[in-house]
Structure 1
């Protein structure tokens, strides 16, 4: 059948994307001669009958009330500038795939071939140089290319038959210079010492040359992304500069060394960053503070056992949570990178058979308002990265049906080196449905879900490298487009008890593909790569072995259960294929075309390469907790404070995400009558399928890059403190908190001072855990945040999770006029560290008062100080605040992590007896903030608060389309709480 071409364009009034693009070209590219932009979706279709085509035109490709449809030719003027953009070959095209599936349903026949492109028509006076600017802005060479305007004769692609996998002839006899050249030619992420180690292994153990697949598999398996090689580097020398803070850090280091002796024979266990990160958990577990930990060989997600009350009866459930970054992919292809960040995070607890019901997104960016003309060579503009990443993450979450409970972007100049794209998710499942057994010889491994393609090859090794100006030209295969409907089907499948109980062990397909996902399931495996389902022909054995590809699971089942599992999978429209078998050889074997292309000893594979060593130097940090007040004018400083990028409104960003899908959300991201007060964290009910429950989960995050830059130790301490304070402000019991950390640092190399940053940060986290007696039971590290001489700030983000009765969950907006507003303080010592004993006593008291109903609202103090907390609490219901504290008594503007602002309905003298607190003032009917003689109307403050990011994440309709919405706060506020 001939290729048909159809163009679909939104009618005026519905052409939102075209108008947005016009505004971007004018404002961000400074192209003034453009009069109009048209955005047209183009479909080329082959293999469809005339009748089905006529039906599909209006049922699938277009909506007649809002779309124009043009067949074969697109009308435009000779003076118009026209170009088309299409995805690179091999990238997943969801629009084409969905269209083909719909046509198959319509016709009850075969799927047609469909190829899509977006045609952009520019009307107006546009010079050649401006047109080139537009094309460069619209085409990211990592994922897309300019498409031809002439219709092809056929859409069928003849894939060349790949050659057999080559043996690297002469490898075991190469000298060091030849080995260095091989390392460079193949672009391995492993070190030269690792490659030498491979040479010795194949020379002495295997007595043969390796295949290219074997070296690629080892490079992937040993990558920092998959095997935490930086975190497992042996630390052999530690030096501390002189100073009061360094003295504290030294004392904490000695506490760590003493703790090691209680857990294991310290002489046989290397000191590593990983050991520092996990030792507090081991010690607190030894002391009995971690009785709810769910332990198994499956370590993809944090897992705790909780009691869930359903219709008055208590059941045991597993609650699983996980955080994960996709920094490298999002930096070079923001939409796909951020989308698969969420997809990858979901797959971890999903592989534990839990149903993921809520997600949190925390990102780090440089100023997105930076002019595009100031973009660094080899980089995408910050505005493009941050807006497209938000679109990608929200698109994936909305399609898979996971509520995004909290979204926050952190701004810091150093994130221009490499963006931080961080997702955290939480899931749950009845404990009785989760079976965990050790695989035994004869068991089979089933590959479930999506097919394998070239996209994702090198994802693990790419994420382990620092970014450079050539990355946008050379990293195309390392990024992918997700297919969330497939992952949604896996969620549905795993929620069925019969399916879940058939699974002995499960691993998700993350970076590394078959080699890691299946390779980690058992010590002895034989994998048949010919059985791996492919997106298209032409893939060779190496690509099949290491391609990441999304939405796949590797599942161990008994051989006799395989047929039933496959049958249940097909009932959910999921492909399931037996691709491997558990053996007893202690070797990883992969076969392709009937030949062995990988045959490696498990002990060598698990060695993670050559043991690396590092020296550490901890510098004396600067003091950073001085008051930030620079002006005596309270009004001026208050307004400037709410304008700060890390204080101002992110409503436009937040509203891109669906926070209510699934019906379990307890707190809206923006609370109050006017939906303006940001929640402290996210809260949701446990997703029971039948019955009613009041058992829910709370999750918060904490991190301040400005503190971490000055002192990574303090940054980590206060990241933990911030997460705990937020949980307490939401009504949670701090003693039930379980933590998880996300570390993100520059490329460390061999510089002792660089190594000192994560070393100090992890000791800070250790210090906080040991004092609060709440352990981190998981985490993730990324150690490649470098671009030339620019580095990301030392980043340790803390996540806190606990269960709670949702009846007592508290939101932060002021509830009524006439309440007392008090600041409950956490004391600090001589080096600006919290006094933990006093903090814990304070948090216990606050928790009791919330349960008694004496606290109406609570908000932890963050980067913008008390003024930020009071202002945001006032916005939600339009309730004003009048200060009663004497001028100069309250530091309104300094970060004071750990302290909490409370709205209470009783006299604080009696209610807060024994606590350190200051009465700030009271709530008022008059919608103003009145502090030290400065009277600031809430609508004026709100305008200033929303202004900084309005151009990036708009909340208002464009002028001419609709009158901008303005909120006028009522003078009379109804009581609602």
Structure 2
């Protein structure tokens, strides 16, 4: 075995070390003045000194900036004043670099290496106590779910245990006793009602189930996989709702019946028509609970999983763009206020950000749109939404079909113990022991494996070498094969599944959620050709079964039968939940403060709010240029650092047609009214599309609900209200839903306390734009241009950032007049299409004040704004309310004076007002009501500084 250490030369700065040093100081430990990071590599095999030297110098290090030591010279001696912590992955956890190293060594012509492993060695300079060193390790450097500290002399390649087959049967007749039923339900994450249905089924069969059968039922019937709350029979204050999803969101899509919707709610993502040849698909997923306990791995596998959803749509789509939306606790939360067993929000934030960025960047997929929100209620239960857009030939847009005799082919990554019980872990609430109890529920992804698989699959699709495809996500093989084979039946040979290491039982192989795996149905006559293609590109592929025609799921291990489930019982035998929901009106103290005299400070305070301030630190770490299709990027303006509204990309290079991607999310409004929260999220997503030059002609929506315990009547009642809003606004705007996902039980329990996240609905929107060259950015363009406010302002500050800064919630959240909003949006999009709008920005967090400031400092220009000319839907006497109201369906539009008459003519059927002008002097001047003097007169540089300062990390 050989050990190699690679470090930066002493004269070079260490950016990773400097970042960790700042994080250590954030913990209140000021004695650490410097951190250096050393990469450690272990290689197992017979290697000569010259081969180790070649690997170290030619492969693992950069001669210009790095130096290396190996074998006898390792570990590197620490200089005086340095302490060391060395961290590596736990046994059985995917080491993403391992396979790349082995492949690269082989490419060098060196054949003696049989295994590789990596570690990080951290050198910390300063007088550090043992307690401080332990705090630094546990709070920043080590997550015990996937990592451990390397002890001197330990074997980095411990032997894996062998597995000897033994069939386990569960005698339900004996387990029928009340006490044992509870323990059985806990072991397999099945409710008493579900276990009773299983008991009756096996009683009729006259036999006991195997553990693999119960595991399959538990995965398939989990909240994560089958959305049983949404499919429940609800009593909503006397109104019976049978299947909330079908009666609201899916119902609206069916009623609209848009011919350009190619595939909705039947596949891994929804597909709409892009042009005569192509379709575009979109899916957004949550990966909340895994990201709470292992932020980097949880988030990375979240984005990796949704990329596979796109790859598993129809007969395989090409991923062309990613989106991400994150919800965290406050980054400046004091350490002593953390609940037990919870990672600090800043650590979660940085881990999630890097996990998503690393995976997407390495896959060569641009990240083009997203959002980040903060609320103390997300501290113990962060939300991680990952989305992917794909491009697919229309002829391949619908799911394929397999026949009896077709082969089950598993491709991509190997199967390990990581991710076992991931969907049942994701379906329950978190608590202060979740970290120690979830060791197998989190995966570490390998994007290079997925990238090779992606490229090869698209080549196989174009050669029509498979007839059906799906991804291995939640539930692993059990869900993927169980769903794919529902209409036919299947035989699966679990000992044929390639493993990362030995020792896995047949049940573990079956339910493992190891990443980077896809399933194909392949005709026997195509097998040799597709296997040769995969082999040529280094993609592992194995035949693990065959589809049948008996509608049974049959599993074997070394020719021993280990499961035989009827497909009808697996997919239709789950008892329907019966739940009670009630409408609950949220009441809060009314806002009780006078209009402040210093509105300039109020504006700066909102610009500096965690939910409003610049996200540049995050955005710069994502690649949004790769694939060359970006038209409007995440940031805009004279210095490319202003907050863009929506992304515009060209899926087909050479075509003028583009797609617009946006999102809306307003969880604070749910504290007042869940219906208005959902309506506001839809309105926000749509107005962002309009703001960049899109229109409503072909726009589709995605819903992602994250809720607490929806079995509580008030919480479930709010969920019903939110779904009703989705139905109502979808019909008015004529924007069908094409896909969605829900994540329930986002709660954290400790010491008899319960922290529940705010009701959170992410609405993602995708629209087709005929000419991407007509896209409009949000920054002011030219002094002397006119500033119009489109839409009307109301005294709607419930859940607003202005009220939040004054420690109030309020009782009137922004509502949506969908009919009027649609008229305004259509009129504005017509004006933009004619080239009459130089810049446009939607009004959202912080209202008019924030939108005007952002447009001004992004364009390095100023603006004169008159509050007296703002169009109102009701009388408002307070200037601060007009300035900071977050009423929906509003825009600021910049128009050249020469286009004034034509613009106003096009807008005459809508609501608009000429409220100001763009100025050359870079100051934001706002005059008050009734001709009152200037109430804000501020250099835009100061506003920009207030906006950029909080997250300048």
Q: Which residue of 1 aligns with 2:287?
A: 326
Q: Assess if the C-alpha contact under 8 Å between 1:101 and 1:111 holds in 2.
A: no
Distance 1:100 1:828, change over 3 A: same
Q: For 1:396-439, what per-residue CA distance to the aligned partner results, in whole angstroms no more than 9, with x for missing partners?
A: 01100010002320112221241110011111122235575422
Q: Which residue of 1 aligns with 2:860?
A: 878
Q: Assess if the C-alpha contact under 8 Å between 1:885 and 1:920 holds in 2.
A: yes
Q: Assess if the C-alpha contact under 8 Å between 2:339 and 2:380 holds in 1.
A: no
1:778 corresponds to 2:739 = yes
Once residues 399 and 228 of structure 2 are traced to their aligned partners in structure 1, the CA distance between those partners, rounded to angstroms, is: 28
Once residues 312 and 679 of structure 2 are traced to their aligned partners in structure 1, the CA distance between those partners, rounded to angstroms, is: 31
Q: Which residue of 2 aligns with 1:69?
A: 68
Compute the displacement of 1:571 (Å).
Answer: 2.4
Distance 1:567 1:303, change over 3 A: same
Q: Assess if the C-alpha contact under 8 Å between 2:343 and 2:380 holds in 1.
A: no
Q: Assess if the C-alpha contact under 8 Å between 1:712 and 1:757 holds in 2.
A: yes
1:816 corresponds to 2:782 = yes
Q: How does 1:672-687 map to 2 (within 5 A)?
A: 672-687=637-652
Q: Which residue of 1 aligns with 2:819?
A: 837
Distance 1:111 1:628, change over 3 A: farther
Compute the displacement of 1:833 (Å).
Answer: 3.0
1:711 corresponds to 2:673 = yes
Q: Which residue of 2 aligns with 1:311?
A: none
Q: For 1:790-813, what per-residue CA distance to the aligned partner results, in whole angstroms no more than 9, with x for missing partners?
A: 111111111111111202111111
Q: Which residue of 2 aligns with 1:475?
A: 438
1:159 corresponds to 2:131 = no
Once residues 819 and 236 of structure 2 are traced to their aligned partners in structure 1, the CA distance between those partners, rounded to angstroms, is: 33
Q: 1:117 aligns with which of 116, 119, 123?
A: 119
Q: Which residue of 1 aligns with 2:805?
A: none
1:866 corresponds to 2:837 = no
Q: Which residue of 2 aligns with 1:644?
A: 609
What is the DSSP-based 3-state SS (H/G/I as helix, E as strand, rest coil) of the residue aligned with 1:478? coil
Compute the displacement of 1:490 (Å).
Answer: 2.5
Q: Which residue of 2 aligns with 1:964?
A: none
Once residues 689 and 502 of structure 2 are traced to their aligned partners in structure 1, the CA distance between those partners, rounded to angstroms, is: 51
What is the DSSP-based 3-state SS (H/G/I as helix, E as strand, rest coil) of the residue aligned with 1:324? strand
Compute the displacement of 1:686 (Å).
Answer: 1.2
Compute the displacement of 1:132 (Å).
Answer: 1.7
Q: Which residue of 2 aligns with 1:15?
A: 14
Q: Which residue of 2 aligns with 1:383?
A: 346
Q: 1:756 aligns with which of 711, 717, 733?
A: 717
Q: How does 1:251-262 map to 2 (within 5 A)?
A: none
1:462 corresponds to 2:462 = no
Once residues 124 and 706 of structure 2 are traced to their aligned partners in structure 1, the CA distance between those partners, rounded to angstroms, is: 42
Once residues 132 and 788 of structure 2 are traced to their aligned partners in structure 1, the CA distance between those partners, rounded to angstroms, is: 57
Q: 2:254 aligns with which of 282, 302, 310?
A: 282
Q: For 1:581-603, what per-residue CA distance to the aligned partner results, in whole angstroms no more than 9, with x for missing partners?
A: 11011110111111111111111
Distance 1:297 1:807, change over 3 A: closer
Q: Calculate the aligned-residue CA RMSD, in Å.
A: 2.3
Once residues 408 and 165 of structure 1 are traced to their aligned partners in structure 2, the CA distance between those partners, rounded to angstroms, is: 49
Q: For 1:508-546, what per-residue CA distance to the aligned partner results, in whole angstroms no more than 9, with x for missing partners?
A: 110111111111112201111111111112211011100
Q: Which residue of 2 aligns with 1:723?
A: 685
Distance 1:777 1:611, change over 3 A: same
Q: Assess if the C-alpha contact under 8 Å between 1:729 and 1:810 holds in 2.
A: yes
Structure 2 stretches lacking a partner, 5+ long: 797-811, 870-877, 928-933
Distance 1:677 1:500, change over 3 A: farther
Compute the displacement of 1:9 (Å).
Answer: 4.4
Once residues 311 and 250 of structure 2 are traced to their aligned partners in structure 1, the CA distance between those partners, rounded to angstroms, is: 23
Once residues 944 and 196 of structure 1 are traced to their aligned partners in structure 2, the CA distance between those partners, rounded to angstroms, is: 60
Q: Assess if the C-alpha contact under 8 Å between 2:297 and 2:355 holds in 1.
A: yes
Distance 1:31 1:376, change over 3 A: same
1:299 corresponds to 2:267 = yes
Q: How does 1:51-70 map to 2 (within 5 A)?
A: 51-70=50-69
Once residues 867 and 677 of structure 2 are traced to their aligned partners in structure 1, the CA distance between those partners, rounded to angstroms, is: 30
Once residues 524 and 101 of structure 2 are traced to their aligned partners in structure 1, the CA distance between those partners, rounded to angstroms, is: 37
Distance 1:672 1:96, change over 3 A: same
Once residues 507 and 50 of structure 1 are traced to their aligned partners in structure 2, the CA distance between those partners, rounded to angstroms, is: 46
Q: For 1:52-93, what per-residue CA distance to the aligned partner results, in whole angstroms no more than 9, with x for missing partners?
A: 211111112211221232332311147643221111111111
What is the DSSP-based 3-state SS (H/G/I as helix, E as strand, rest coil) of the residue aligned with 2:607? helix
Distance 1:916 1:169, change over 3 A: closer
Distance 1:853 1:79, change over 3 A: closer
Q: How does 1:433-452 map to 2 (within 5 A)?
A: 433=396, 436-452=399-415
Once residues 634 and 236 of structure 2 are traced to their aligned partners in structure 1, the CA distance between those partners, rounded to angstroms, is: 46
What is the DSSP-based 3-state SS (H/G/I as helix, E as strand, rest coil) of the residue aligned with 1:236? strand
Q: Assess if the C-alpha contact under 8 Å between 1:670 and 1:679 holds in 2.
A: yes
Q: Which residue of 1 aligns with 2:729?
A: 768
Q: Assess if the C-alpha contact under 8 Å between 1:87 and 1:117 holds in 2.
A: yes
TM-score (norm: length of structure 2): 0.91
Structure 1 stretches lacking a partner, 5+ long: 240-252, 258-268, 308-314, 955-977
Q: Which residue of 2 aligns with 1:926?
A: 921
Distance 1:544 1:67, change over 3 A: same
Once residues 927 and 41 of structure 1 are traced to their aligned partners in structure 2, the CA distance between those partners, rounded to angstroms, is: 48
How many residues get paired? 903
Q: How does 1:210-289 map to 2 (within 5 A)?
A: 210-238=209-237, 270-285=242-257
Q: Assess if the C-alpha contact under 8 Å between 2:175 and 2:184 holds in 1.
A: no
Distance 1:327 1:296, change over 3 A: closer
Compute the displacement of 1:151 (Å).
Answer: 5.8
- Comparing 326-335 with 78-87, greater Cα deviation is found at 78-87
Q: Which residue of 2 aligns with 1:897?
A: 888
Distance 1:708 1:491, change over 3 A: same
Compute the displacement of 1:780 (Å).
Answer: 0.4
Compute the displacement of 1:655 (Å).
Answer: 0.9
Once residues 637 and 277 of structure 2 are traced to their aligned partners in structure 1, the CA distance between those partners, rounded to angstroms, is: 34
Q: Which residue of 1 aligns with 2:907?
A: 912
TM-score (norm: length of structure 1): 0.89
Q: Assess if the C-alpha contact under 8 Å between 2:466 and 2:526 holds in 1.
A: no
Distance 1:469 1:508, change over 3 A: same
Once residues 311 and 660 of structure 2 are traced to their aligned partners in structure 1, the CA distance between those partners, rounded to angstroms, is: 19
1:346 corresponds to 2:301 = no
Once residues 858 and 419 of structure 1 are traced to their aligned partners in structure 2, the CA distance between those partners, rounded to angstroms, is: 32
Q: Assess if the C-alpha contact under 8 Å between 2:456 and 2:537 holds in 1.
A: yes
- Comparing 506-515 with 69-78, greater Cα deviation is found at 69-78
Compute the displacement of 1:184 (Å).
Answer: 5.9
Q: Which residue of 1 aligns with 2:194?
A: 194
Compute the displacement of 1:829 (Å).
Answer: 11
Q: 2:86 aligns with which of 84, 87, 109?
A: 84
Distance 1:236 1:500, change over 3 A: farther
Q: Which residue of 1 aligns with 2:203?
A: 203
Compute the displacement of 1:661 (Å).
Answer: 0.7
Q: Assess if the C-alpha contact under 8 Å between 2:650 and 2:656 holds in 1.
A: yes
Once residues 658 and 455 of structure 1 are traced to their aligned partners in structure 2, the CA distance between those partners, rounded to angstroms, is: 28
Q: Which residue of 2 aligns with 1:742?
A: 704
1:182 corresponds to 2:183 = yes
Q: For 1:108-155, what per-residue CA distance to the aligned partner results, in whole angstroms no more than 9, with x for missing partners?
A: 525432222212223321122212211212211111111112264xx5
Q: Which residue of 1 aligns with 2:572?
A: 607
Distance 1:280 1:828, change over 3 A: farther
Q: Which residue of 1 aligns with 2:329?
A: 366
